[in-house]
Structure 1
Amino acid sequence: MPPRLQQLRQLERLAGRPGAFQFARHVQQSTKKHASVAPHASFPGAPAASKKSGLARMPTSSVLRSYLITSMSSSPPLLAACFAVLRRMLDSRSALMNVERNPVLNWLLKTTFYAQFCAGSTRKEVQTSTSAAKTDMGYDGIILEFALEVLDGEGGPETADSATTAAEIETWRTGMLESVWMAAPGDFIGLKWSGLGKYALQLLKEKRDPTPLMERAITEACEAAAAKKVLLLPGAEEEVSNAGIEKWTRSMQERYNRNGPGNAIMYTTYQCYLKSAHAKLAKDLAAAQEGGYTLGVKLVRGAYLNSEPRHLIWDTVEETHKNYDALAACLLKRQYGPGLQPLEGASSDKFPQIDLVLATHNHDSVRKAQAIRNEQAARGEERVKLAYAQLQGMADEISCELVQVAEQAADKALDAPRVFKCMTWGTTAECLNFLLRRAAENKDAAARTVDTRKAMAKELWRRTRGLVGLA
């Protein structure tokens, strides 16, 4: 067989013949004996498969890098080995192994993992990355997040007036203001309340208010964001501190979300793998209705599966999927239903104004949401302000197909989805530490990269066929 034909046959195998890519999901235990990633249909309104691929807008170098990294991350042994090496680099005191002091090592990491998942370490790098995301890829905006980590159990207990507490607050304040400066109106800023420091984390766990110094930093960041019309997405964390997080976030929603639907500045994140997610959402909906403000909602599945008390989480991944999709449907339709009941004593006839972010890498959930949106568009109904969000370097096949749907929506009288990419910024060491912490919190998330690996392999195969005139 000629070498070129051999290469084509190899890429064809990589691209995925029927049944070639069957990998188990392990995000949560499945009730099925063999839970695999099933082939999925396109989104409602998506172009036919014979037309141009949504991934065609990605540079070949990015497609190839995504394929290689997702191939590694979908193999547990390779992923574990890679994380071990990266952790050793980040923890080493040797100049040779220091990613910030060794230029060769820095270049290697910057052109692989860092380039895949992070936006840059300087204003120029970040703005170049965000501009490419919007101009070249067609995304409506970005979610910019400073790679700041404050971990429970590291260091001794702090006090409100300690020098360490003040320094941690200042780091958070300057990082937030820099993020707002780099973001454009309509973009989001991701934030962690625990990023204000170890003492802030202690306050959150105890459901206590922020200190005056923290309050000033929070107000300054929120005022800067509101003045620029940049939106704020506080992330949910482990359940032990979520009650405090929700308390701090709710007070900011009451202050900054009073300009009507479509203009919410502050959002709250709800983790749908928690059995309590619907009750939390019902409580906040009732508070928003009574308080007369728009509730900003970010819906996620959750990222602390390995550290949460098991009784708080749904038993199977199917139950989590069902919970996510049921809550999303109620929010999109602005009506209570089987998945979301009003708070006891609250009216089921009145649903408060909401702005919604569906942050998910699940193709089926996005497809269901778009079907609802298209039905509403066809009937001429008013729709909630909605943004889809995926992480940079992950689920690009979903993001790109949504962009493609948006480009064709006007001609088909369909809903035009708004697509955002979450991009982390900071030094190489800061960002890799951030990513490693996220991976440690949700080790089984690697299984979700299988769909992306398959999509990148098929895109490489499509481009290879084009080069030899077989497209």
Structure 2
Amino acid sequence: METNLLFNNTEIAFKLKTDAEVERAYFLFKMIANEPLVRIGTAVTKFALNLNLPVEGLIRSTVFDHFCGGVNEQDCMKTVDALYEANVYSVLDYSVEGQENDAQFDKTMAKIVDLTYFAQNKEAMPFSVFKPTGLGRFEIWRKKTENEPLTQEEEAEWNRVVNRYETVCKAADECGISLLVDAEESWMQDAADELCEQMMEKYNKERVVIFNTLQCYRWDREEYLHKLHKQAKEKGFRLGFKVVRGAYMEKENERAEENGYPTPICESKKATDDNYNQVTRYILDHLDDITLYVGTHNEVSCYLAMEIMKTKGLKKNDERVWFGQLYGMSDNISYNLASEGFNVSKYMPFGPVKDVMPYLIRRAEENTSVAGQTSRELTLLKNERKRRGIF
């Protein structure tokens, strides 16, 4: 198959879906394509859940089952095993958001550690993942990033955040698992980056245990990568990076305007794409020092990474290069890459239905605002329905 047609193969893309699941996906993306409907639907869903109305069954059988692996890790295993049969790995992502107290942070830390040990002897699960704000209050990250003085109580709080971080990284190291650390808003990210750098220096000696995330809609990320690469070479440790475009653009631009500082976001979609592809190329040029996780739903960026690998004579399954997409999206990329022999994983959110709803709502809103994403999913599903004779 010609490379530039690879992602058009819907038979491979949707081979794990029954006819009913293809129909459900088609229905969901038609709903998501309607922005007013998404706004109304999210408002109604929040309202119903807050009143404890019996809507969890409906949510579970529609949007939850499409975008999530299950309510707990055991519930996810049937899906994890099915993906592995198709040569696609899974990254179980405990997607409970918006918690703001020490008890919840300790619970999240324990969950990530449990998941890491759970994955230890499962070839299908080579990664764990977490968000920095899952282990500490957003405000404490912001204060550290913006160099605001901390009170004695806040210093103690920050030390607890560092200890949680250390506990999770140590577990990944002991289990032979790699740990993907997500990136968040720019006004808390410097503190998260600094902590991640410390963990990389400590653990990324023999292999890459810790991966930080580069959000390439930020114009400063390529410079940051070059600077950190230089430091890592001087200090003798390796780097791991998940490279994404980013998910907080509107918030970033609004805050920059409100506070009167230059936006950290690239000036255009093209500038973001160029930045993403330059960062990817740089890492592929330095694989002896940096391991790459290409986290994207952009076909052009995937084709580019594949082409560079081919030009360099790299094996498709080179252990230093991974591709990743979200569960329930861009199956045309994931399964076709896997069928060609590349290393591919799916980010698989899971958790209690009610607790995962903030994630699902954010995902629906992002799909609505990303030009072309939903229409591409609909076109692919329409083609697969036609191929199967579903009308």
Q: Same fold (TM over 0.5)?
A: yes
2:43: which partner in 1? 84
1:218: which partner in 2? 165
Q: Find the partner of 1:201 among 132, 135, 141.
A: 141
1:104-143 deviation digits (Å, cap 9, x = unpaired): x2221111111011111223202222222212x330x112
2:260: which partner in 1? none
SS in structure 1 at match of 2:294 = strand
**Residue pairs, 1:253-292, within 5 angstroms:** 253-259=200-206, 263-292=207-236
Q: Find the partner of 1:117 among 67, 71, 78.
A: 67
SS in structure 1 at match of 2:249 = coil
Residue 292 of structure 2 corresponds to residue 356 of structure 1: yes
2:92: which partner in 1? 144
Provide the rounded CA distance (Å) in 1 between the counterparts of 2:25 and 2:47.
Answer: 24
Q: How many equivalent residue pairs?
A: 372
Deviation at 1:437, TM superposition (A): 3.7
SS in structure 1 at match of 2:213 = strand
2:355: which partner in 1? 430
SS in structure 2 at match of 1:315 = coil
Deviation at 1:393, TM superposition (A): 0.3
Does the 8 A contact of 2:368 with 2:374 survive in 1? no
User: Structure 1 245/329 Cα, relative in aligned 2: closer, same or farther at 3 Å?
Assistant: same
Does the 8 A contact of 2:135 with 2:165 survive in 1? no
Provide the rounded CA distance (Å) in 1 between the counterparts of 2:175 and 2:216.
Answer: 31
2:327: which partner in 1? 392
Deviation at 1:203, TM superposition (A): 5.0
Deviation at 1:55, TM superposition (A): 2.7
Does the 8 A contact of 1:373 with 1:383 survive in 2? no
1:281-314 deviation digits (Å, cap 9, x = unpaired): 1121112111111100110001111111362211
**Residue pairs, 1:182-331, within 5 angstroms:** 182-183=118-119, 184=122, 187-198=126-137, 200-202=140-142, 204-206=144-146, 211-259=158-206, 263-309=207-253, 311-331=263-283
Deviation at 1:42, TM superposition (A): 5.7
- Out of 324-333 and 111-120, give the one that drifted further: 324-333
User: Structure 1 382/85 Cα, relative in aligned 2: closer, same or farther at 3 Å?
Assistant: closer
Deviation at 1:52, TM superposition (A): 5.4
Does the 8 A contact of 1:192 with 1:234 survive in 2? yes
SS in structure 2 at match of 1:120 = coil
SS in structure 2 at match of 1:268 = strand
Deviation at 1:365, TM superposition (A): 0.8
Q: Find the partner of 1:453 among 378, 381, 390.
A: 378
Please tell me whether Structure 1 or Structure 2 has the larger radius of gyration of its CA atoms: 1
2:19: which partner in 1? 60
User: Structure 1 446/319 Cα, relative in aligned 2: closer, same or farther at 3 Å?
Assistant: closer
Does the 8 A contact of 1:147 with 1:424 survive in 2? yes
1:207-245 deviation digits (Å, cap 9, x = unpaired): 688734333332222222222212111111100001011
Give % identity.
25
- Out of 388-397 and 51-60, give the one that drifted further: 51-60
**Residue pairs, 1:415-426, within 5 angstroms:** 417-426=342-351
Provide the rounded CA distance (Å) in 1 between the counterparts of 2:84 and 2:316.
Answer: 28
Does the 8 A contact of 1:267 with 1:297 survive in 2? yes
- Out of 447-456 and 238-247, give the one that drifted further: 447-456
1:10: which partner in 2? none
| Runs of 5+ consecutive residues of structure 1 not aligned to the other structure | 1-40, 155-163, 335-350, 407-416
Deviation at 1:397, TM superposition (A): 1.1
Q: What TM-score results when the alignment is normalised by the length of structure 1?
A: 0.72
